Every structure is written in structure tokens, then in C-alpha cells.
Amino acid sequence: MPPPSNSARPNGKGLIELPDPLPEPAEGELKLEAVFAALADPLRLTIVRKLMLEAEAYDHTCGWFGFDRPKSTLTHHFRALRDAGLIQQRQYGLERRSRLRTEDLNRRFPGLLDLIRAWKPSSNG
């Protein structure tokens, strides 16, 4: 089964059904401290960066990232990112797919994503 398209949106003629996003802070509720705290972890920074640079047109599962970590650890980090408002998650059957909240972040914290784009994962460290 092909992954659900992320660009599917209501268009007035017909709706393409999309699962509701899991609970997340609204754009106006995003807190800079919380965003910084979420990005203080290298794994989470990698998740966000990978979503920004390598994501296809559809959302991605935990497995897509290829981390060699226990599932419970990944759940923890993805949840931290969603709680901080950096990613959005939708449940597609068994899979929980994530996407970056690019527009919200660019409106609320312009320049933030550029900082993450320029980050080099384990150089300069």
C-alpha cells in the first residue's frame, strides 16, 4: 500500500480522508523555551532535520528514520517533539506517521529551521 499522500487536502469538491492529528499545541501556544528544550537532544535534532531535508511528499513512520534504538525510546522522543509542537503525528492504521510543522514554525519562529538545516549531526562536536 502506498503511503498516504501528505498533500491531500479538502478542496471543496471532494475530501480525501485524513486521520486527525494527535493532540498537539496550537500554533499560538508554541513556546520558545519548550522548542529549545526539545531541540537540545541530538537524536531529536536529527529527527527534525531529517524530516526537513529528506521527507517525501507523505508523512513518515518511526521506522523510516532507521534509528537503532528500542521502540519505547523512539516513542519517547517523538512524543517530546510533538508536545513541543515541532512535529505533527497522524495515525494510519498501525502506523503513526510524522511530519514537520514547517509552516507553523516558520510563522512563529522565523529562522529556526534554517538553524537546524545548517546543523551538522556529529561534526563540530
Partner DNA sequence: CTTCTTGTACGAGTTTTGTCAAACTGGTAC
Partner DNA sequence: GTACCAGTTTGACAAAACTCGTACAAGAAG
Q: How far is CA 37 from CA 81, 119, 121, in A?
A: 10, 16, 17
Taking the least distance from each CB to its own copies, the nearer of 54 and 114 is 114
Separation in Å, CA 121 to CA 46, 48, 49, 92, 103 = 7, 11, 9, 30, 23
8-37 positions binding its own copies, by CB under 8 A: 28-34, 36-37
User: Which residues from 95-124 bind its own copies, rule CB under 8 A?
Assistant: 109-112, 114-116, 118-119, 124
Residue 94 sits in the site that holds DNA (CB under 7 A)? yes
With H, G, I as helix, E, B as strand and everything else as coil, classify residue 27: helix
Is residue 61 at the binding interface for DNA, with CB under 7 A as the rule? yes
Question: Taking the complex as a whole, how short is the minimal distance between the CB of residue 12 and DNA, in angstroms?
Answer: 28
